A and B are shown apart, each in its own frame.
Chain A
Amino acid sequence: MTDSTMTTRQKVEASMKRRRAAETRFRMYGMASVLFGVLCLVVLFGDIFGKGASAFRQTVLTTEITLDAEYLDITPASDKRALMNANYEGLIKQHFKTEMKPSGRKERRQLYSLISAGAGWQLQEEVLNDPSLIGNTISIELLMDDDVDQWLKHERGEETSNNRLSEKQLEWLETWVDSGALHTRFNRTFFANGDSREPELAGIRGAMTGTFLTLLVTFLLSFPIGVAAAIYLEEFAPKNRLTEIVEININNLAAVPSITFGLLGLAIFINIFGVSRSTPLVGGLVLTLMTLPTIIISGRAAIKAVPPSIREAALGLGASKMQTVFHHVLPLALPGMLTGTIIGMAQALGETAPLLMIGMIAFVVDVPSFIGDPSTVLPVQIFLWSDSPERAFTERTSGAIMVLLGFLIIMNTAAVMLRRRLERRW
């Protein structure tokens, strides 16, 4: 009561201006922060999509090629081994030599370098699928070298100083473009192949399969262990010093830098237990260590959120502790537990550092078929490609990031939807 001439009402009104200004200011701060976040996301996505969108197109040359039985030295009746070992690459070279008529060795070499090293395998695949094609002329879309791919997608019609293609090569390419033979199509290779040193042959199939197998191992181990640990700690464990220490350490574990888990995995799983390195099995084991704390903590939170009245109701009817937990608490806590698990798995999906330590950074061409095969995972593949000098790998890096982000978004959406669907009100 400093100013006795003013009534309370007058004082309140006098202070309103200041209070409103404070509120407006706070709203502005809030909006600015949200805006900043959205802007960062837009820039990030814009950059990745801008660079990566072209990774999903691929340059091919449609051409009519005769599978000369004499040159290949095979017949439809030849055994598989002969079919596999025939000189398809030579046939392609032969074909282009007669078609484009390069003069001299240098031009020949330049001509051949326009075609991907994988073109021979394309022919081989066609023949293996249908040996009766031998001797016939087939129309095939041959993969082009990554330099041609980049030229057609980005540089054609632009003045570029550091062109990797010669005048003569450009001349050939232009004639192919004009005739409609050279064009782009959906990049099947990107989704069908494993890694390769040739960008036009490199794909994410190996990394995706590796990621899937690794996450499968992670899920199969971390979900049951995590849920069991959460239930035991929350419902059965006596509240004493020991459980307190366990609880603190679970929280600590969740905060441990992930690379440490990689070192631990290397020291224990690989060196002591002799699990073969670079496999989804050991990757899954390491990621389980990382995911467990997340699942346990979210699982405990979900169990805590079940109202005690439900427990009392069951206990009051004479249900045993175990019956109370499994008939009433667990069904109600499950949505929360699953959400936590999905979030933990999404974390594991994007994890790179610990996997580098256990050899998942190895260059693996083959698509793994079970958890003991050497493989890599998507984030590590991205890391590997981002380090490659070929420009064609830049767009593939962004392409792979888009695929990874796609999976992350799907998983997080699933978590949100699951929570909405299964959420019960009481």
Chain B
Amino acid sequence: MSIIENHKTVGKPLIEGAKLSANDVCVFYGEKQAIYNVSLDIRQNEVIALIGPSGCGKSTFLRCLNRMNDTIDICNVTGEILLDGDNIYDPKVDVVPLRATVGMVFQKPNPFPKSIYDNIAYGPRIHGLATSRVDLDEIVEKSLQRAGLWNEVKDRLHAPGTGLSGGQQQRLCIARTIAVDPEVILMDEPCSALDPIATAKIEELIDELRENYTIAIVTHSMQQAARVSQRTAYFHLGQLIEVNSTDKVFTTPEHQLTEAYITGRFG
């Protein structure tokens, strides 16, 4: 397997009225190039799944969407990513409001070593979203309800968040992200550390969240991609090979690499 010269993404990467739109994005780690000229649009209220073999750059691409890659010194991004038409890589853009708008859920549940309440309340507190204690209580409750965790934790809001089970912790992290009321939620393999039952709950949740948010999810599980997403993007060695509706990708893939991957010939 090697990089395909002058590959042009097959399928329909570009759409009308995109919420997020990447244009010719390249990512370099020092000398090494990790992403090659990726252009991809993400629609409002859709779940897009990014799939591909390990090291194909799907997580790197996801982390470009809220500039989490900025924390890595040697990481360099070229091209532009438009959020509602504004380039988030414009030097004038501050990452703080950007990350409040484009939230992120990580691979491993990473609640703060604080109480469940404080975990949720942290974002609203730093952004000044709540004007009173009652307001904050309401945000916490609403976020936990949306994340489907309220009934399980309402009696122990002040117990440490790290004391929850893995699946509950991940839903806590999702609730924490929702609490800042973002427009886009990025999920980097949110279920890879969870058992099938917890995974099912999260998938259900993702489907519900779609009503209000735009979601991009990186996953290693093709079944998961098929279950939760409307569109699927297949990455291969830093290139975006194919983007199509999820049905089409999993039934009649256009590119031979996509077909090879989804039929399990490598990956």
Contacts and interface: CB of A to CB of B under 8 A. Distances in A.
Given A318-B97, A327-B122, A313 B173 contact: yes
Contacts of A238: 73
A315 interface: yes
Contacts of B66: 316
A309 B106 contact: yes
Contacts of B122: 314, 317, 319, 327
B99 interface: yes
Given A316-B66, A318-B180, A328 B112 contact: yes
A425 B176 CA distance: 20
Contact of B99 (A315, A424, A425, A426): A315
Contact of B73 (A239, A312, A328): A239
A310 B73 contact: no
Contact of B96 (A307, A309, A320, A332): A320
Nearest to B104: A316
Contact of A332 (B105, B110, B113): B113
A311 interface: yes
Nearest to A240: B73
Nearest to B125: A327
B146 to A, nearest CB: 16
A313 B111 contact: yes
B108 interface: yes
Contacts of A319: 96, 122-123, 126
A307 B110 CA distance: 9
A312 B71 CA distance: 9
A275 B12 CA distance: 76
B68 interface: yes
B127 interface: yes
Contacts of B104: 312, 316
B110 A317 contact: no
A78 interface: no
B45 to A, nearest CB: 21
Interface string B69-104: 001010000000000000000000001111110011
Nearest to B111: A313
Interface in B34-85: 66, 68, 71, 73
Interface string B174-197: 001100100000000000000000
Contacts of B176: 313, 317
Main secondary structure of the interface of A (DSSP, over half): helix
A316 B113 contact: no
Interface string B157-182: 00000100000000001001100100
A186 to B, nearest CB: 49
A317 B113 contact: no
Contact of A318 (B71, B105, B127, B162): B127
Contact of B112 (A313, A318, A320, A425): A313
Interface string A289-310: 0000000000000000001011
Contacts of B123: 317-319
A318 B71 CA distance: 13
A320 B95 CA distance: 8
Contacts of B97: 318
A238 B74 CA distance: 11
A309 B112 contact: no
Contacts, number: 67
A327 B126 CA distance: 10
Interface string A338-365: 0000000000000000000000000000
A315 B71 contact: yes
Nearest to A312: B106
A337 B104 CA distance: 31
B110 A318 contact: no
Given A310-B112, A316-B106, A332-B113, A426 B162 contact: yes
Query: Among A315, A318, A426, which residue has the most Cβ atoms of chain B within 10 A?
Result: A318
Contact of B180 (A312, A317, A323, A328): A317
A426 B71 contact: no
A109 B12 CA distance: 115
A310 B96 CA distance: 16
Contacts of B105: 316
B267 to A, nearest CB: 26
Given A317-B176, A318-B126, A311 B71 contact: yes
A372 to B, nearest CB: 44
Contact of A317 (B73, B108, B126): B126
A209 to B, nearest CB: 41
A320 B177 CA distance: 16
Interface in A96-126: none
A425 B162 contact: yes
B108 A309 contact: yes
Given A314-B122, A316-B103, A319-B126, 17 more contacts: A239-B73, A307-B110, A310-B113, A312-B104, A313-B111, A313-B176, A317-B103, A317-B122, A317-B176, A318-B95, A318-B97, A318-B127, A318-B180, A323-B126, A327-B122, A424-B113, A426-B162
Counting from the closest, the 4 A-B pairs by CB-CB distance are A318-B100, A309-B110, A316-B104, A318-B99
6 contacts: A312-B68, A312-B106, A312-B110, A318-B180, A319-B122, A327-B122
